[in-house]
Amino acid sequence: MPNIEDFAAYLQNERRYSVHTLTAYTNDVAQFFTFTTNQYKTEEPGEVNAPMVKSWIYDCMQHDLNPRSVNRKLSSLNTYYKYLLRTGALDKNPLATISGIKTSKRLYQWVEEKDMNTLLDFTGFPKDFGGRRDKLIIEMLYGTGIRRAELIGLKITDVDLKGKTIKVLGKRNKERIIPIPITLVQSIDEYIQIRRMQGYSHPNLILTDSGEQLYPMFVQRCVKNHISMVSNVSKTSPHVLRHTYATHLLNNGADINAIKELLGHASLAATQVYTHNSIERLKTIYKQSHPKS
């Protein structure tokens, strides 16, 4: 099998994939060739054919992988074979005739506006560094729709309080400018002042109690602890606040193309899922309110 490190370098340097995506793709490819080695006694990409790939799909389903996960693995493998075609290592792609598994349309969860208002306006966050920091995490995710990784990587120099914007480095190193509301401007300003009193000099904006960069589980716990106080949504990950941001914008009349740019989506299709959320909301209102429902 061609050097997997070369494929990883291609994903990182040319496709600009994140470390998380890069790891997932290379693991998927390695798992596929472990399967072909065990089942067909080969790990040579050129010896792989469509029936082998289909048997791998069946094996994944037998191990209770959901269709979305299987499709992700197929995407990884397809990207690998396209890389081999591009470099001239192969002249055919065994996945060319293989389609992904059909999946049901997924409706994302979000927190109701009244619940977000309750959390941010009436929940008593402590006035110390930790309390202001935790509130800022919630406000930043909900007020800008940025991803968890983007929040963690946000630097003080990325914030323009006078211009009421933040600069975000998103997927594939794409920068975007996001406007922030005056309430968030005030929260950032207050947080920076108390952070300065702590004597922290780290370049990143939001820090742990010890003055170090945030890490994913820290943000995860913070969001879960506070969202569960006001909402019954079953998922309380930071991404739920991104969905909440987009859904509330759409429900209040924002143009979907503008939402696409704010979220940093590469295509409109990724943003259109929020229209389904809004349609479901309208159906619920209709059933509750119309006499003929």
Report the alpha-carbon distance of residue 140 to residue 137 in Å, rounded: 5
Contact 222, 137 (CB under 8 A): yes
pLDDT value, residue 269: 81
Total length of the chain: 293
For the chain, first and last CA: distance in Å?
60
What does the pLDDT read at residue 278?
61
Give me the active site residues, please.
147, 171, 239, 242, 265, 274
Mean pLDDT of 247-262: 90
Q: Tell me, what's the pLDDT at 35?
A: 95
pTM: 0.69
Half-sphere exposure of 239 (CA within 13 A, CB side): 6
- CA nearest neighbour of 33 among 90, 80, 83: 80
55-107, pLDDT tens digit by residue?
999 999 888 888 889 999 999 999 999 999 999 999 999 999 998 888 766 66
How many CB atoms are located within 10 Å of the residue 65 CB?
A: 16
What domains can be seen in the chain, in order of their start residue? Answer: 4-87 (1.10.150.130), 113-289 (1.10.443.10)
Cβ neighbours of residue 82 under 8 Å, at least 6 residues apart?
Answer: 93
Query: Which residues, at least 6 apart from 253, have a Cβ–Cβ distance to it below 8 Å?
Result: none
